[in-house]
């Protein structure tokens, strides 16, 4: 009916209209009441009048409220229809609520705990729950709809302004209900494409030659031991080198700090027999890439990236809604110091002591209902869709939480 008016405007219009009518009626009734108290009190009006019927008044107080109610109904219905009419070209994103986080699955299968959408493309959300009833609430888009286990509900919105908007849970769902928060990030087309393709996390899988090429390092530093303009970078970890500092020779060990310093401020310490020609990379290379580069040179990357992958996984899968990483108890045992800890578990009604080793973590992730740690409720959903590699990464991360 009003193609240019968005659902948000219609909802607001319905709200303001009904609110205004209610306010006017409230004021009118209150004033009339006070006025009648004054005008018809016993002193001024000792004889009560006996009024029998007034056709005009009866018609008016029937017809006027009917018109008002029909008007409110129409405006409310119109906004409801707008909220339920999803444009054909909408992107579909699946939303799953679980105690106590939101999980978004994008058309290409990517999973994240936050909602990224491209600007000016309508978005349809298919909403469900993995456990109890939650309510998907985005005030900015006037969306509030229950997420019910076993049922898929939907909502849609048109992200027409860049920015970050709050997502909340509006249905009490347990002790961490108030922390069941997320964000809608409205970004431009390009950034969305990057996010969807996972390019944002690509640094985790980048190789050393790729990075050296990207920053032009490979023009002067080889990886095969050949001496070019600068020293070769293979086997640099722990290498003893003579450097010249302020004209004096000094033996150093190539550790993380030394390598970082030599990238950022190469002129400070020049390796003996080489010329001071390398440009400083301070401000030229982002910190995360610098860290990745140094980790790769020190062969630390493999181990680190697995931990990073695990860390991101437990965030995205919502594990941190119940398992803390700092030792505090939310609704399940903390991941901190979990690895190799002894746990009392209940299995088939009997109590056992188990060691939280790799096997144990694997089974409790895939089939959590088999053994419940004593003192906790059996509320964890099975994560049987995670691959062995993903569980391995999670285990690595848990191991690192000492």
Task: Find the shortest distance in angstroms from Cβ 102 to ligand CUA.
Answer: 9
Task: Find the shortest distance in angstroms from Cβ 232 to ligand CUA.
Answer: 56
Which is closer to ligand CUA, CB of 74 or CB of 172?
172
Task: Find the shortest distance in angstroms from Cβ 322 to ligand CUA.
Answer: 12
**Could you give the CA distance from residue 192 to residue 210 in angstroms, rounded to a whole number?**
24
Query: Measuring CA to CA, how many Å separate 374 from each of 344, 349, 371?
Result: 6, 11, 9
**Could you give the CA distance from residue 174 to residue 8 in angstroms, rounded to a whole number?**
30
Task: Find the shortest distance in angstroms from Cβ 127 to ligand CUA.
Answer: 12
**Could you give the CA distance from residue 79 to residue 61 in angstroms, rounded to a whole number?**
27
Task: Find the shortest distance in angstroms from Cβ 330 to ligand CUA.
Answer: 14
Count of beta carbons in the 10 Å neighbourhood of residue 293 = 25
Task: Find the shortest distance in angstroms from Cβ 131 to ligand CUA.
Answer: 9
Helix intervals (H) in 147-275: 189-197, 208-214, 256-264
As a dihedral over the C-alpha atoms of residue 307, residue 359, residue 401, residue 335, rounded to 10 degrees, the angle is 120
Long-range contacts of 379-387 (CB under 8 A, 24+ apart): 379/99, 379/131, 379/174, 379/322, 379/331, 380/322, 380/332, 381/98, 381/130, 381/131, 383/317, 386/313, 386/317
Which is closer to ligand CUA, CB of 136 or CB of 195?
136
Which is closer to ligand CUA, CB of 134 or CB of 301?
134
Task: Find the shortest distance in angstroms from Cβ 174 to ligand CUA.
Answer: 7
Q: Which of 13, 1, 21 is nearest to 76 (CA)?
A: 13
Across the chain, how many H-helices and E-strands are there? 9, 16
Which is closer to ligand CUA, CB of 171 or CB of 295?
171
Which is closer to ligand CUA, CB of 77 or CB of 172?
172
Which is closer to ligand CUA, CB of 104 or CB of 281?
104
Contacts to ligand CUA by CB under 6 A: 97, 100, 134, 169, 171-173, 177, 180
**Residue 164 CA from chain centroid, whole number:** 11
Entry field: residues in the chain = 402
Which is closer to ligand CUA, CB of 180 or CB of 293?
180
Which is closer to ligand CUA, CB of 169 or CB of 297?
169
**Could you give the CA distance from residue 96 to residue 109 in angstroms, rounded to a whole number?**
14
Task: Find the shortest distance in angstroms from Cβ 134 to ligand CUA.
Answer: 3
Q: Which of 151, 154, 145 is nearest to 87 (CA)?
A: 154
Backbone angles phi, psi at 221, to 5 degrees: -120, 125
């Amino acid at each position: 009916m009003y193609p240019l008016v968005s659902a948000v405007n219609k909802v607001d219009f319905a709200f303001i209209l009904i609110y205004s009518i209610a306010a006017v009626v409230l004021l009118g009734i209150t004033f009339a009441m006070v006025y009648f108290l004054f005008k018809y009190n016993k002193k001024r009006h000792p004889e009560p009048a006996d009024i029998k019927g007034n056709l005009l008044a009866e018609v008016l107080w029937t017809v006027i409220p009917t018109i008002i109610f029909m008007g409110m109904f129409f405006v409310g219905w119109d906004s409801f229809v707008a909220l339920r009419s999803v444009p054909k070209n909408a992107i579909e994103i699946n939303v799953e609520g679980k105690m106590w986080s939101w999980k978004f699955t994008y058309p290409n299968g990517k999973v994240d705990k936050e909602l990224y959408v491209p600007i000016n493309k309508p978005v349809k959300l298919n909403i469900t729950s993995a456990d109890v009833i939650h309510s998907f609430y985005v005030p900015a888009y006037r969306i509030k709809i229950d997420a019910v286990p076993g049922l898929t509900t939907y909502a849609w919105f048109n992200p027409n302004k860049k920015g970050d908007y709050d997502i909340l849970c509006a249905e009490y769902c347990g002790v961490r209900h108030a922390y069941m928060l997320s964000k809608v990030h409205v970004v431009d087309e390009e950034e969305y494409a990057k996010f969807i393709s996972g390019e944002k996390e690509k640094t985790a899988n980048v190789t050393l030659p790729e990075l050296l090429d990207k920053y032009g390092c490979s023009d002067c530093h080889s990886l095969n031991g050949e001496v070019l303009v600068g020293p070769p970078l293979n086997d640099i970890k722990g290498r003893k080198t003579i450097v010249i500092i302020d004209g004096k020779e000094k033996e150093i060990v190539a550790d993380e700090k030394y390598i970082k310093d030599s990238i950022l401020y190469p002129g400070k310490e020049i390796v003996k027999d080489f010329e001071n020609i390398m440009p400083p990379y301070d401000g030229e290379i982002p910190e995360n890439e610098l860290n990745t580069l140094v980790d790769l040179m020190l062969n630390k990357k493999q181990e680190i990236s697995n931990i990073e992958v695990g860390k991101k996984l437990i965030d995205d899968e919502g594990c941190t809604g119940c398992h803390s990483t700092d030792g505090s108890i939310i609704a399940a045992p903390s991941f901190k110091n979990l690895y190799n800890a002894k746990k009392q578990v209940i299995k088939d009604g009997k109590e056992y002591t188990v060691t939280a080793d790799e096997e144990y973590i694997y089974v409790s992730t895939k089939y959590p209902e088999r053994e419940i740690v004593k003192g906790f409720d059996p509320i964890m959903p099975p994560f049987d869709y995670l691959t062995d590699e993903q569980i391995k990464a999670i285990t690595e991360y848990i191991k690192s939480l000492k």
